[in-house]
Amino acid sequence: MTPKIRNESRIFWGCFVALATCAFGFIVRTQIIGNWQAQFNLSETEVGQILAVGFWPFAFSIIGFGLVIDKIGYGRAAAVGFLFHISSITILLLATTARMLYWGTFIFALSNGTVEAYMNTALASIYPREKTKWISMVAAGWPCGMIAGGLLAIALAGLDWRWKVSLTLVPAIAYGMVFIGARFPVSERVSSGVSYREMLQELGASGAFVAVYLVALQVCDGILHLESGRFLWPLLPAAAVAAAFGWYARSWGKLYYFILLLLMIPLSTTELGIDSWITDLMAPAMKTFGLNPGWLLVYAAVIMTVPRFAAGPLLRFFGPYGLLIAGTLSAALGIGAFSLASGTAIFAAATLYGFGKSVFWGTMLGLVAERFPRGGALVLNCIGGVALLSLSVGMVFLGTIQDKRIERDLVLRDAAAHTQLHQIYLTERKSSAFGSYAALNQDRLRSAPLADRQVIEQAQLGAKKEALRTAVWIPGFALLAFIILLLHSKWRARGELRAPAAAAG
């Protein structure tokens, strides 16, 4: 084996374990948040803030590094990500206040974004002829990290949460050791002589508008906590930055890239935004088997791993569009099955859903890397950042559906049973971009009589099922879009074949 091949293998497996570290920390955090709430006396709002800060800094660091990573190099970015991981784990282990938990989680999210920023572009530069295959294969690190973290969290359920956090050091130190001595490549964009401005032109004003709008939306929602106009206020900074970006780059951006950027919104909502409701919905059924609900996540992660490792054969058989069509169809069927399934049928639904969402991330990033090599790290990292930032849109939409369904069910039940549950427990009207709703009073619900809690829990269960039935249309929309893109690509290919034939004639 030549030194070059050994170096390529080292970088691939280092990226693989680094991504597994990101997933390991994510799944451990979901398993210990209840321990944090009890030990640090966290309110539900504080719990939500800690969970949320595990996502949006991830997206900020991806997009930020996309602008500079070609200048600082992949090796330095990998070192920054490693130091962030070790620092965040140390802060969490030493945490004595809720603020330390917050900042430890914040830094971990930054490190996750850094890994995503250098990982895909480095592999695209190493394997320029098989970008989609290798980007899809390294994406298997995420479900592998979830499997390892989920199994350990279940096995160590009775131990102090710090033991679970400390285990994150194992994969973190492992990938740091793998990267020692690795020679990271120069980016494909730089080695091809494409200028920085030419890279910006691939994104253009249209791509910049989408990215900045979602960043501003997160600021309005997650930092400023705006209740009204949360979807309107970000339009102003997005339009201003997009205009300046487009003027400097002298480009509106590539239409095809803009379409792919928008399609990442339903794909990311399908892959990452629906998991929490599926877990809650399936928890009662899992308990009838005497199983921890976490086993369902582990099972789905196993299902995700196989297609990602088999990306090469799947891509040769389906092609990228065909694979995305198969994935969105399978995910839609799986989500629909979850809303109806009971007993062992939930594992059939998890199989469909797990396979479907497994092909989204790697195939889309590979498609972007293949079609827009001049865009370098920026176009790859921007599409990953948009995927994460857009989660808030999908989550607000699905959350509003649930709140409205709970309100409707309680009002109808009160009318039939001559009770007043909706007046007692739905005590505050709120609004979102998708309409107004009455919010459950969690304080009153916690002290409610058992009979009332059972009625409301049944309404919540029905609301989750309705949200899942509605969510079928999210991958369904993407399915339709990919069918159109496939037909368009075949039409263009036929036109290109006819043109030389006509010229020869």
The per-residue pLDDT for 267 is: 92
Work out the mean pLDDT of the chain and round it to a whole number: 84
SS3 of 439, please?
A: strand
At 259, is the pLDDT very low, low, confident or very high (cuts 50, 70, 90)? very high
SS3 of 342, please?
A: coil
Q: Is the pLDDT of residue 257 over 90?
A: yes
Q: Is the pLDDT of residue 436 over 50?
A: yes
Distance CA 9, CA 390 (A): 33
The per-residue pLDDT for 500 is: 60
Distance CA 91, CA 102 (A): 10
Q: Which of 91-95, 233-237, 490-494, 496-500 shows the lowest mean pLDDT across its residues? A: 496-500
Q: What is the mean pLDDT of residues 38-42?
A: 80
Half-sphere exposure of 159 (CA within 13 A, CB side): 13
Q: What is the mean pLDDT of residues 451-468?
A: 79
Q: Is the pLDDT of residue 303 over 50?
A: yes
The per-residue pLDDT for 111 is: 94
At 264, is the pLDDT very low, low, confident or very high (cuts 50, 70, 90)? very high
The percent of residues in the chain predicted with pLDDT above 70, rounded, is 88
User: Shortest CA distance to 93 belongs to which of 159, 26, 167, 151?
Assistant: 167
User: 440 forms bridges with which residues in the sheet?
Assistant: 426
Structural contact between residues 337 and 348, judged by C-beta atoms closer than 8 angstroms: yes
Q: Which of 159-163, 176-180, 393-397 shows the lowest mean pLDDT across its residues? A: 393-397
Most confident of 192-201, 255-264, 439-448, 468-477: 255-264
Q: Which of 59-63, 119-123, 140-144, 182-186 shows the lowest mean pLDDT across its residues? A: 59-63
Q: Which of 57-66, 231-240, 459-468, 475-484 shows the lowest mean pLDDT across its residues? A: 459-468
At 243, is the pLDDT very low, low, confident or very high (cuts 50, 70, 90)? very high
For 59-113, what is each residue's pLDDT tens digit?
A: 888 888 888 888 888 999 999 999 999 999 999 999 998 889 989 999 999 999 9
Identify the helix (H) or strand (E) that includes residue 205.
helix 196-218
Cβ neighbourhood burial of 286 (10 Å; 0-12, 13-18, 19+) = middle
At 468, is the pLDDT very low, low, confident or very high (cuts 50, 70, 90)? confident
Sign of CA dihedral 469, 422, 396, 233: positive
At 389, is the pLDDT very low, low, confident or very high (cuts 50, 70, 90)? confident
Strands (E), 373-462: 426-432, 435-440
Q: Which two tokens stand for residue 368?
A: 């972007």
At 284, is the pLDDT very low, low, confident or very high (cuts 50, 70, 90)? low
Q: Which of 216-230, 304-318, 322-336 shows the lowest mean pLDDT across its residues? A: 216-230
Q: What is the mean pLDDT of residues 264-280?
A: 78
HEC assignment per residue over 40-56: CCCCHHHHHHHHHCCCH
Structural contact between residues 257 and 205, judged by C-beta atoms closer than 8 angstroms: no
| Ramachandran area for residue 185 (φ above 0: left; ψ -120 to 50: alpha; else beta) | beta
pTM over 0.85: no
Q: Is the pLDDT of residue 429 over 80?
A: no
Q: Is the pLDDT of residue 453 over 50?
A: yes
The per-residue pLDDT for 1 is: 42
Sign of CA dihedral 348, 353, 354, 359: positive
The per-residue pLDDT for 497 is: 58
HEC assignment per residue over 120-149: HHHHHHHCCCCHHHHHHHHCCHHHHHHHHH
Structural contact between residues 472 and 332, judged by C-beta atoms closer than 8 angstroms: yes
Q: What is the mean pLDDT of residues 108-129?
A: 91
Distance CA 482, CA 476 (A): 10
Q: Is the pLDDT of residue 5 over 60?
A: no
Q: Which domains, from first to last, does the chain contain?
A: 1-186 (1.20.1250.20), 398-471 (no CATH)
The per-residue pLDDT for 339 is: 81
